[in-house]
Structure formats: C-alpha cells, structure tokens
Structure 1
Amino acid sequence: MKKLKLLVASALTASMLVGCGSNQLEGKTYTYSAELDIKNLDSSDADDGMSFSAMHACIDGLMGVDEEGNIVPAIAEEHTVSEDGLTHTFKLRDAQWSNGDEVTANDFVYAWQRIIKNSGNYAYMLGSDGAKVKGADELMAKQAELGEGEELTQDDLNTLQAVAVDDKTFQVTLTSPVSYFEELMTFPCYYPINQEFCEEKGAEYAKSAENVLSNGAFIMETWEPGRQATFSKNENYWNADAVNLDNLVLNLVQEPEVAATAFDNGETQFALINSELVDKYKDSESYKSIKEGYLFYLQLNFGNSDLQNLNLRKALSYAINREDFVNNVLKDGSTAATGFVPSGLSTSPSGTDFRSDAGSYTSYDLEQAQQYLDAAKEELGKDTISLRLLYGTDESPMDQLATYLQDAFSQLDGLEIEMVATTKQDRIYTKQANQDFDIACTRWGPDYGDPTTYLNLCISDNANNYGKWSNTEYDSIMDQVAVEADVNARWQLMIDAEKIMMDDLCYIPVFEKGSSTLQDTSVTGLVQKPVGVPYTFNYVDIAE
C-alpha cells in the first residue's frame, strides 16, 4: 500500500510570545493556530482531527511515523506476523507514562476493551470495518442489545482476542488478514490507556491537562478549551533525542483573519487561511497549499420518500458545478470530487491510483439536472419538492458549501431548499444520528490508506450510515472485500462496490479538501498526512 506522505515546513523564533497577551515561554517554542477546538484526549472517545493531533503530541501507540511520514515502530519495538497473517505479536519497548508507570501490554488491552464497552465512535475500527480483531464484532453486537443500565462484563470483554501475553508482549488475533494493519496501529483509537489512572479520574479522564497522562513526545501543561493548549517536552520520552522543541502551543478556534494577523505579527508560525485571504498571500514565500484528505459530500436521508427517487438524487448531483466551487470560491487547493474514494488515497498492486482505475461519476449539467428533476416530480406526483439542507456553521468551509449549494439548487424549477444551520456536534450526534435531516453537508477523513475507509460507510449497518441506504449486492461485495486474500481480486471488488453506490448516488461527493496555510520558512519537520493523525509535531525544529 502506498503511504501518503507530505513533509511541510513552518518556522518560529527560538523564544516567542505564546499568543496575544500570554506569558513568554523559555526555549524553542512552536505555535500552531487551529480553526477547531480539542474535543478531548480520550482515545476511546475523540473522533476529530484536532483532538487526534493534540493526542498524538502526548501519546504514542504501537506504531508511529518518522520525519518523512513513513510508518515506523513506536511503543512496539518489534512486530511479527504469523504465516497465515492472522496473529500479530508486538514486543513493547521500555517506555514510561508521565506518572512514572511503565507502559505495559495491559494498557492496550484495557483501551481496546474500553472503547467497545463505552460504544466509542471508533469502536467499529476494531471489528470487520477496521482491524478485524477476533471477537470484536460479536462484542459490539452484544453491546447493542444490552438494556438500560446493563453493560458488558469483564468476562465478555476478555473474549476480545487482543491479549497481554506478559507485561511486554501484546498479541492480536484477526478473523482475516489485514494488509494495512501497521498503518491502523498509528490511529488514536488503538492508543494505550493507563487503567489505574483512567479509573481514578472517572468521567473527567482526558478532559483537562491534569487528567491526561503522557507516554509521548510532550506533556500537556495547560488546556483552556476554545482558546489554547500548551505542552512541554517530555524528558522521559523513549525517543526524546528526536524531539527538538521545548514547548508546543496550540491556539484553538482561530478565525482565519485572526490567525493571519497573528502570523504577520510573529505570534504564530502556522496559520490556516480561507479563500478570502488567498489572493493576499498567494505570492508570499510563506504561502503553502496542502492536501487535507477530507472528502466533503452530501449525505441523503433515505427515510425521506422523495429522496428515495433516483432521478431526484441525480438532479441534485448534476446541479453542482464542483469545478467552479473549488476554483472560484474556495481557491485553497481543493479539487472537484469525481467519486466517493478520493484521489491519492491508495494505489493498486500495479501502482495506479484508485480514482484512475475506478473512473469518474460526477459532472455538471444544469439542463440535464432540470430534466432529472422534472422526471422526479412526475414520478412523485408533485409540482414542488421541498428539502432541508443541514450544515454546521463551526466547521469551515461547510458554510460556504451550504451557501453555494443553496444557490445551485435554486436554479432548478420546482425545488425548494430550507437551510438548517447548527453546530458540528448537533449536526452529527443529534440531527443525523436521529435521521432528523433531508440533506446533510458532511465530510470524512481517511482513517487509513485503503478504499475501505470510505466504502465501509455505505454498508447497511455501518454506524455512520445515518441516511440508512441499504443495498444487498453492495453489502455482499464488501463482505467479499473483507476476506479476499488475492490483492488484485480485492482491488476489482472495491471498484465494483463503488460503482454500485455511485450509480445509485446514495452519497453525493462534492470536493476533496485542500488547505491554504501560512508557514514560516525557517522551521522544518512538521509532518502532515491526509490519512489518520493530521499533524505530527515530534520532529519540528528551528533554524538558529
């Protein structure tokens, strides 16, 4: 599997002010301005890129990345795989938590059991949609059947075939081989948790700086939600010699204009900017466009009888001028989506990109869109079709997308759109989770570099299939993908699966997200990856 790698650079002075009006920190200090907040640093619960980057700053998993973004051992000093590809054995290096406890195999056992017991958002990644750990699917099915007040017993949890052979040996048994298993182990839902510390903190675990333990490059010192988090170098980190920074500062929930001004004033060394600022900075040496990896798409609620009509779904897709949106509205390096699996995610056994092999399923044709809508109205017996468009105002550029779509859909005669603005959390966990939407503007970032990280979203019983699209042929093909050992046959099955869901337009892909950034040029070593943890700060260094 080809790993997506991008090494980006930024810069800072050796000693600097931490944000506007903050106290000065001693030593090499790197300040990163983020548009989003940290949800928490609980690997069993966090599900967003900002939390992942903050979490990775202070917690190492079994595997990590090097300066070039390659997958390398982290807490696992040695990894062996059985001949049949089903048993993975990790020998752990000597590493410590920041309270002095040794990192042991039980820390991984406890964390993996806990995410299932707590029905964490990424619990499914242990099952057939991810690592395929033996016993995971059965545990999650049993968890779903429990009544109020009931929970899985420890005996239940011990059926998960992720076990501590001894303090330094962690062994995982799979139901079928997973070629990208090492890459999965870099993802936060597989990170370890110190059981005694976690249970002592209870509900407050990982929700504040004093309630987080580190076994990684940095220790969280302060965390003011919605404003700033600060970290200091962990001198007891197993790979401390590779860490050049003394301090890491994350400025949170920064508006692009504020972040750009801070960058100009030397108060931050990395700033995400929006399309309104691109023309101002695009000729600057500090301006860089990067590929984020997110696919922005429309999720359709098949509980709405109108949206069950394929011609209506085609009308919506054909009405979107994706090229105009990315080139003239976003202007940040984003590209028009041509399918549900983004370009650059993974390559075939022969080295070709999935999108090249799978082809294109999107196009803009307003006249054709109107014809599809007219056909839908006739089939539905309606003169006008009314739909609600749900989006979060706190997840840029979702508001720009929603506004553009409102205008695009208004070009169709007989289609009325009601805009429903809310927050990201309410959009996902309240409205979408309860099917209280018609069309939802949403996005997905790849958890690992394989097409299944997207294709699994369309499986009937996938937890993120809020629109409840269901297709038995699709499910059957994805079942085959899950067990197919022949890499070429598996590749073709994934192409076939995407064709089914795109022909039926269960989701409507819009664009692949790029980002415009300002990065000082005298700092190297910030690793940015469109897959998994977005940013790794371990190797950032400052030119003296």
Structure 2
Amino acid sequence: MKKLKALIVMCLAAAMLVGCGSGTAATDTYVFSSELDIKNLDSSDADDGMSFNAMHACIDGLMGLDEDGNITGAIAESYDVSDDQKTYTFHLRENANWANGDPVTADDFIYAWQRILKNNGNYAYMLGSDAASIKGVDEILAKMDSQQELTDADFENMGVSHPDGDNKTLVVELTKPVSYFDELMTFPCYYPINQKFCEEKGDQYAKSATNVLSNGAFIMTDWQPNKQATFEKNEDYWNADAVKIQNLVMNLVQDPQTAATSFGSGETDFAPINSELVDKYKNDDSYVSFNEGYLFYLEINEKNTDLANNKIRQAISMAIDRDDLANNILKDGSKAAAGFVPRELSVSPSGSDFRDDAGNYDVTTYDLEKAQQLFAEGLKEIGKDSITVRLTYGTDESPMDQMAEYLQNALTKLDGFNVEMVATTKQDRIYNKMKNGDFDIACTRWGPDYGDPTTYLNLLLDGNANNYGKYYSKEYEEIMAKVSTESDTTKRWQYMIDAEKIIMKDLPNIPVFEKGTSALENQKVSGLVHRPVGVPYTFTYVEKAE
C-alpha cells in the first residue's frame, strides 16, 4: 500500500510539472536541481552537502532553523543549561513522532550517537573534543584509534542519558563549555535514529526510500541515484502547519545547462548555474548569487621534501591570482581567500567578523615577481634547479577542475616549476590518494559544520582525520589547546586569531577561494532557507505563490 501511495504521488508530481510555462510549475510542488547526487541518508555515515539536504528534508534533530535561518528548537521543544554550561537537558516534544507512529525519544538520540562511534563514522570525531565535547567520547575515540575493542562500559560512561521512566528528556554532559552547542545539534551527525527500524533494515538502512524513516517535514517516496529523489509532506509532522508545499522534487546530477533549460520551461524552481552561464543570465530577474560556505584550498603533503621548504610554499601561494580566478574564471560569486578561516562564518563577542579581526595575509596577495624570487631562493636551499609536483583533483566536484587547470597555468609560470596533473574522482581523491598519502598537492575543499573558526582550525590538529598532509606544529597544538579550554570568549577569540597566524606562516594548507553559488530561482517562491554553515538548504518553509 505504501509503495502504491508513493507511486501515485510521483505520477501526480510529474503530471503537474509537464507542460508548465516558465515560472508556472504547480504551486504545491517545489523542484530543486543539483549538480550533485545524494550519496547517503545514514546520519552516522553521510558527509556531503546534498545528502545533508535530503536528510534534513525528512529528519529533524534536537535543534533546527526557523524561516529566517536562526537556530530554534526542533525535536527539542526547550532545553536547560547548567550554571557551569556543561550539562544540557533537552525536553522533547510530546507530538514528535516517526512516520511509523513511534514517538521520537531520548533513546533514539543515544542509539544514533553511540552507533556513529561504533561504526567509526566520518563525523564520529564531532562528538568528541573537536566539537561537541560529550563526556566519555574522547576515551572511546582513543580506544578506536589504538584498535582496542570497545565494551559496554565505554558507552555507559558516555555523557548521554535520560531520567528513569522519562524517555522524553535527554541529558547531555560535556567535558567543557561549548558556546555553539545548540548550533551543533542542527547538524546531521547528531540526528536521531529509530533503533528498531534501523536494525530491521540491517545493512540496507538508509540506502533507499523505503529504508529511510522520517520524523521531519517530508517523507521520501522515491530515490533514484544519479537521477531524482521525491518527497511528500509529512502530515503528522509536529510542525506540519509550517509546511506549505505537498511535494518536493530533487533533480540529481543535473548538468547546469540542462537545469537552466528546465528552469526556462518552468519545470524547475531552483537551478544552479556554472561560470559558463553566468554572463548569459546575470541580468535576468531570476538570477541570484550568494556565499556557498566552502573554502577551496591546496593541501600539502608534509612528506614531500621539496614542498617542505617554506619559501616554495610561499611562492606557490603568491603565484595565484585569486581575484582573477574568482572574478573572471568562476564568476559565480566566489571571492579570493584572504586566510584559512573564510568570511561570514562567525562573529566575535563584540560582533565583528573573524576575517575582519584577523585581517588579510600578504601571502594571499598575487605577486608573481616576488613569487619567482621566493621560488628561486627555495630551490637553492633544497639544492635543485627545478621540481615536479603532482596536482591531484576530482573532476566530479565542480569547479575543482577549473581551479586545477588555473593553478597549473599559474604555477608553471614559475621558472623550474613543473606540474603533473592527476585527475580522478572525489571519492578516490579523498579515500585513496589523500588518506594514503599518495599525493604532493591536492585540490580540496571544506564546508563549515558549525559557525565557529575551529571548524577550520581543527583540521590541522595532529590526529585529526582530515589532516591528510600530516601537518604538525607544537606551537599550533599548544595554542589550540588554549582555544579548547578557554572560557573567556574574548581571550578565546584572540587565541584563534593567533592560531591562524601560525598556519598562514607555515602554509600546510594554502587557501585559494571562498565558493559562491549562482542560480536561477523562481520569483514566485519564498521561504527557501540557505546557510553557508552546516546543512546548505532547508525546504520546510518553501511556499509558491499562484
């Protein structure tokens, strides 16, 4: 019966979209196009923005976003914080239920958080001191790193529980105050999982529409990888009155030109476009551009003895004309990076942007003459006339290919600098080449998981799973330890500024640009929430005028 219902919804959605003129798609159906695919709907495993979009459409965490993008209660109706800021008590909504009728309980969160650790999920570290700082998690992660067997006692000591007989109250104990803890709770790795449903599905959990259980605004009705995912409104959602559309359609892995054509014929309400299409559409009333949140950068393999020379690293950085790349090649709202922590990420206790307080670094300023001088000095120091460097990038993570081609051209302008291009896929780049140290310089990117500079600064800590270049600095470790423990927010802010100065001097990662997005957006649509931090898009409040 459920399959039949899903099929009917899909057919209705398709029928409503056929034959619509530009901007006239059915008002109860919202169509969102993406160049990317949904890779995974398991909150203990997913690690990409499109998967987060899909999960967020059908699963609520403790906290969520209101129609203005502000943090608000979701499954948690309210919460209390202890005087020492280290114990959070969440009071779950009585009317928050899973689509199968089960209530959403504290045990659903406890199970999910323990499961991501047991499965060594990509974001398991975010439960520890690198982010949420939940009591007992660092000890679990340490045992995992040393390949020791975990026991029930390890998880019994984990700081998540509920009072006896009260499964609608979740108590979370932290090892230190975390000023952005409520924002963390909007991130997918902290979402709940219905244990009974998950274990019934086994290794098929979250791998298809029928194997995903919703407690959110929409219910997934169909998911065809590399093609399309469809959702219908969850009438039993605790906040159903806020949901105005009946159907949500995500067109996946859609070429920007195809998406733009579909938008022109009224078949798509939101169509991201690439730099090749910007000039064509930038004067259109439907054209929008905004900060996507990703920082694109170069990661240096510390084991490469040529690249270990700091002057050579400085030369690489100063040989890149970031403004030219952003404004004349990408043309999508991207901006030249001025440091490793991007703009619009976080504000100080006094309300200023981190980038404004930290300032710009000379090493990110284009100066080919200075770059050549530094490179020549670096070559002399390492006793070579030239070097050959492999530049690794994924061709399926636009605009990484444009970045790589631009860098090849820029770096080979340095006399004696040879570039060998290594084109691959994102999965191979990260999980094979970078993870195994099989690279010299990798074109990579990072999207902020939460609105604090540590979401970037932690990447270069010794032992961080994303520190693929194996950078280590005692000075950096010491100052980041102060960031981790300092309760005075003003002092902590300055420590983070000082920490960035260290890595911008050492240049283990060379920031290149902050990604923007250009898109065509139906002017009759309102309520799409976009944030450059965490889950990119929230569809709960989307509304289409007649």
- Match of residue 330 from structure 2: 330
Q: 2-side partners of 1:426 and 1:162: how far apart? A: 36
Aligned with 1:412 (options 411, 414, 422): 414
Q: Calculate the TM-score normalised by the size of structure 1.
A: 0.95
8 Å CA contact retained: 2:31, 2:251:
yes
1:499 paired to 2:497: no
Helix, strand or coil for the counterpart of 1:511?
strand
- Match of residue 536 from structure 2: 534
1:177 to 1:328, Cα distance in 2 relative to 1, 3 A: same
8 Å CA contact retained: 1:345, 1:450:
yes
Aligned with 1:164 (options 156, 162, 180): 162
The CA deviation string for residues 38-66 of structure 1, in whole angstroms up to 9 with x for no partner, is 01111000001000010000000000000
Aligned with 2:492 (options 466, 490, 493): 490
Gaps of 5+ in 2: 1-12
8 Å CA contact retained: 2:346, 2:451:
yes
- Match of residue 236 from structure 1: 236
1:389 to 1:169, Cα distance in 2 relative to 1, 3 A: same
1:364 paired to 2:337: no
8 Å CA contact retained: 2:312, 2:374:
yes
- Match of residue 351 from structure 1: 351
Moved more, 432-441 or 374-383: 374-383
- Match of residue 227 from structure 1: 227
1:313 paired to 2:313: yes
1:432 paired to 2:434: yes
Q: 2-side partners of 1:34 and 1:276: how far apart? A: 16
1:188 paired to 2:188: yes
8 Å CA contact retained: 2:27, 2:545:
no
Helix, strand or coil for the counterpart of 1:16?
helix
Q: How much has 1:158 moved relative to structure 2?
A: 2.1
Q: 2-side partners of 1:172 and 1:475: how far apart? A: 27
One-letter identity of the residue aligned with 2:409:
D
Q: 1-side partners of 2:392 and 2:162: how far apart? A: 45
8 Å CA contact retained: 1:259, 1:272:
yes
Q: 1-side partners of 2:375 and 2:155: how far apart? A: 51
Q: How much has 1:267 moved relative to structure 2?
A: 1.2
Q: How much has 1:14 moved relative to structure 2?
A: 12
8 Å CA contact retained: 1:19, 1:268:
no
Q: 1-side partners of 2:252 and 2:513: how far apart? A: 25
8 Å CA contact retained: 1:228, 1:250:
yes
- Match of residue 83 from structure 2: 83
1:197 paired to 2:184: no
The CA deviation string for residues 351-371 of structure 1, in whole angstroms up to 9 with x for no partner, is 111111111121111111111
1:19 to 1:153, Cα distance in 2 relative to 1, 3 A: farther
Helix, strand or coil for the counterpart of 2:162?
strand
1:269 to 1:26, Cα distance in 2 relative to 1, 3 A: closer
- Match of residue 105 from structure 1: 106
8 Å CA contact retained: 2:298, 2:442:
yes
Q: How much has 1:156 moved relative to structure 2?
A: 2.0
- Match of residue 459 from structure 1: 461
8 Å CA contact retained: 1:56, 1:188:
yes
Q: 2-side partners of 1:320 and 1:414: how far apart? A: 16
The CA deviation string for residues 160-204 of structure 1, in whole angstroms up to 9 with x for no partner, is 111122310111100110111110100000000011111111111
8 Å CA contact retained: 2:17, 2:26:
no
- Match of residue 3 from structure 1: none
Q: 1-side partners of 2:320 and 2:47: how far apart? A: 29
- Match of residue 126 from structure 1: 127
1:328 to 1:205, Cα distance in 2 relative to 1, 3 A: same
Paired residues, number:
525
1:285 paired to 2:281: no
The CA deviation string for residues 436-463 of structure 1, in whole angstroms up to 9 with x for no partner, is 1111101111111111111111111111
Q: 2-side partners of 1:233 and 1:379: how far apart? A: 64
- Match of residue 508 from structure 1: 510
Helix, strand or coil for the counterpart of 1:341?
coil
Q: How much has 1:482 moved relative to structure 2?
A: 0.8
- Match of residue 9 from structure 1: none
One-letter identity of the residue aligned with 2:262:
A
- Match of residue 4 from structure 2: none
Helix, strand or coil for the counterpart of 1:306?
coil
Q: 2-side partners of 1:433 and 1:19: how far apart? A: 48
8 Å CA contact retained: 1:19, 1:251:
no
- Match of residue 6 from structure 1: none
- Match of residue 4 from structure 1: none
The CA deviation string for residues 260-307 of structure 1, in whole angstroms up to 9 with x for no partner, is 111111111100001110111011000000110110000110011111
1:181 to 1:304, Cα distance in 2 relative to 1, 3 A: same
One-letter identity of the residue aligned with 1:363:
T
Helix, strand or coil for the counterpart of 2:484?
helix
One-letter identity of the residue aligned with 1:265:
S
Moved more, 195-204 or 534-543: 195-204
Q: How much has 1:27 moved relative to structure 2?
A: 6.7
One-letter identity of the residue aligned with 1:355:
R
Moved more, 393-402 or 193-202: 193-202
- Match of residue 397 from structure 1: 399
Q: 2-side partners of 1:477 and 1:120: how far apart? A: 28
- Match of residue 217 from structure 1: 217
1:384 paired to 2:382: no
Q: Calculate the TM-score normalised by the size of structure 2.
A: 0.94
1:72 paired to 2:64: no
- Match of residue 297 from structure 1: 297
Q: 2-side partners of 1:352 and 1:99: how far apart? A: 46
Q: 2-side partners of 1:393 and 1:16: how far apart? A: 35
Q: 2-side partners of 1:84 and 1:330: how far apart? A: 47
8 Å CA contact retained: 2:80, 2:88:
yes
The CA deviation string for residues 406-459 of structure 1, in whole angstroms up to 9 with x for no partner, is 000110110110000111111111111111111110111111111111111111
One-letter identity of the residue aligned with 2:271:
A
One-letter identity of the residue aligned with 2:217:
A
Identity among equivalent pairs (%): 67
Q: 1-side partners of 2:393 and 2:493: how far apart? A: 34
Q: 1-side partners of 2:137 and 2:379: how far apart? A: 45
8 Å CA contact retained: 2:136, 2:154:
no
One-letter identity of the residue aligned with 1:156:
D
Q: 2-side partners of 1:195 and 1:488: how far apart? A: 42
Q: 2-side partners of 1:49 and 1:288: how far apart? A: 19
Superposed structure 1 runs of 4+ greater than 6 Å apart = none
Helix, strand or coil for the counterpart of 2:297?
strand
1:478 paired to 2:497: no
Q: How much has 1:375 moved relative to structure 2?
A: 1.1
Q: How much has 1:384 moved relative to structure 2?
A: 1.4
One-letter identity of the residue aligned with 1:33:
S
Q: How much has 1:330 moved relative to structure 2?
A: 0.6
Q: 1-side partners of 2:205 and 2:394: how far apart? A: 27
- Match of residue 272 from structure 1: 272
